[in-house]
């Protein structure tokens, strides 16, 4: 998993992110090979400011991270989505993927939840190009068990158990408004409210351990978490990680409360 990746995707990232000035060298400029990147995971067991309590590297720096309780032991652990391939790990440690499967297409956003309420959390994807959720009830390759359109193109997906019925269902954020639905079907939002600012990254989790997932946003390096799915101010706000990190949410320590983490693409040194 940690071997140096290669190919067009990484080159693109290098050109766009690391050394765009090299493009000014002209059409014949041949850039040096991009430095290999890994995915660095920094997880914290409380929703508060402070150092990461769990830190490890897993996957490549061009992967899309996803976290879930893959093996139903109560602990959220990492997975990476790489253009339709998933590599899942059952502990919050560096190492090789323990489960690999194929599901979804490049460009999809990986998701995880207990879509059918049977106690097992499983994979899903949101496809931005057609605003469609494709959910699967096992962590295996195969076709979607549930597929439906919800929201609009350019919406950002969020998933959670908004009504404490043990089923994870979908939602989207559009502008500064969350549109949450209590069933995994097409239809109108059951809950809609504004929270945060345009451009915030939406998250969802059970911050207070009461069984209901509620929303939050990450803005810059600050998490703003709310304990009800309603309009209002953040109940919890704290800085964690760096600007540009990808937020992570999970119950890393199996205490029934979801807390934050961040994922960062790091150059191997
Ligand atoms: Ca399930
Ligand atoms: Ca639910
Ligand atoms: Ca809650
Ligand atoms: Ca926890």
Same domain for 11 and 115: no
Same domain for 99 and 8: no
The pLDDT value recorded for residue 269 is 77
Calpha distance 255→235 (Å, rounded) = 20
State pTM to two decimals: 0.87
Same domain for 42 and 25: no
How much distance in Å is there from the Cα of 4 to the middle of ligand 4? 33
Domains contained in the chain, number: 2
Q: Relative to the alpha carbon of 258, which ligand is closest?
A: 4
Same domain for 115 and 79: yes
The pLDDT value recorded for residue 29 is 63
Q: Relative to the alpha carbon of 72, which ligand is closest?
A: 1
How much distance in Å is there from the Cα of 252 to the middle of ligand 4? 5
The pLDDT value recorded for residue 249 is 98
Query: Domain range spanning residue 5?
Result: 1-35
The pLDDT value recorded for residue 28 is 58
Calpha distance 217→195 (Å, rounded) = 8
Same domain for 83 and 68: yes
The pLDDT value recorded for residue 58 is 97
Task: pLDDT tens for the chain, 269 residues: list them.
Answer: 444 333 333 333 333 334 444 444 445 567 788 789 999 999 999 999 998 889 999 999 999 999 999 999 999 999 999 999 999 999 999 999 999 999 999 999 999 999 999 999 999 999 999 999 999 999 999 999 999 999 999 999 999 999 999 999 999 999 999 999 999 999 999 999 999 999 999 999 999 999 999 999 999 999 999 999 999 999 999 999 999 999 999 999 999 999 999 999 999 87
Looking up residue 110, the CATH number of its domain turns out to be 2.115.10
Q: Relative to the alpha carbon of 255, which ligand is closest?
A: 4
Calpha distance 10→38 (Å, rounded) = 11
As residues whose CB is below 5 A from the ion ligand 3, the structure lists 206, 208, 210, 212
How much distance in Å is there from the Cα of 87 to the middle of ligand 4? 23
Same domain for 7 and 74: no
How much distance in Å is there from the Cα of 116 to the middle of ligand 1? 5
How much distance in Å is there from the Cα of 224 to the middle of ligand 4? 17
Q: Find the angle CA(170)-CA(63)-CA(39) to the nearest 5 degrees.
A: 115
Q: Relative to the alpha carbon of 69, which ligand is closest?
A: 1
Same domain for 197 and 70: yes
Q: Relative to the alpha carbon of 206, which ligand is closest?
A: 3
The pLDDT value recorded for residue 33 is 80
The pLDDT value recorded for residue 5 is 36
Q: Find the angle CA(70)-CA(76)-CA(79) to the nearest 5 degrees.
A: 60
Same domain for 64 and 192: yes
How much distance in Å is there from the Cα of 69 to the middle of ligand 4? 12
Same domain for 14 and 58: no
Dihedral angle of Cα 246, 250, 253, 255, to the nearest 10 degrees: 150
Q: List C-alpha distances in Å: 31 to 35, 66, 267.
A: 11, 32, 17
Same domain for 125 and 195: yes
Same domain for 245 and 122: yes
Same domain for 124 and 254: yes
How much distance in Å is there from the Cα of 255 to the middle of ligand 4? 5
How much distance in Å is there from the Cα of 203 to the middle of ligand 4? 16
The pLDDT value recorded for residue 204 is 98
């Amino acid at each position: 998993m940690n071997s140096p990746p290669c190919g067009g995707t990484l080159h693109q990232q290098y050109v766009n992110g690391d050394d765009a000035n090299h493009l000014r060298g002209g059409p014949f400029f041949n850039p040096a090979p991009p430095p290999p990147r890994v995915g660095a995971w920094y997880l914290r067991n409380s929703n508060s400011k402070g150092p990461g309590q769990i830190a490890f590297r897993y996957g490549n720096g061009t992967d899309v991270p996803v976290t879930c309780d893959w093996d139903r032991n109560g602990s959220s652990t990492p997975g990476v989505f790489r253009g339709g391939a998933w590599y899942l790990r059952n502990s919050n440690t560096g190492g090789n993927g323990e489960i690999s499967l194929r599901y979804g297409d490049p460009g999809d956003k990986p998701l995880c939840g207990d879509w059918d309420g049977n106690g097992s959390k499983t994979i899903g994807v949101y496809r931005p190009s057609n605003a469609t959720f494709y959910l699967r009830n096992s962590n295996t390759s195969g076709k979607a068990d549930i597929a439906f359109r919800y929201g609009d193109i350019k919406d950002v997906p969020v998933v959670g158990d908004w009504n404490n019925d043990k089923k994870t269902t979908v939602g989207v954020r559009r502008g500064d408004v969350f549109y949450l639905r209590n069933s995994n079907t097409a239809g109108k939002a059951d809950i809609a409210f504004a929270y945060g600012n345009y451009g915030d990254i939406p998250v969802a989790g059970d911050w207070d351990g009461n069984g209901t997932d509620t929303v939050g946003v990450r803005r810059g390096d600050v998490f703003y978490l709310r304990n009800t799915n309603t309009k209002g101010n953040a109940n919890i706000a704290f800085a964690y990680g760096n600007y540009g990190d990808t937020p992570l949410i999970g119950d890393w320590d199996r205490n029934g409360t979801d807390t934050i983490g961040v994922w960062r693409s790091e150059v191997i040194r």
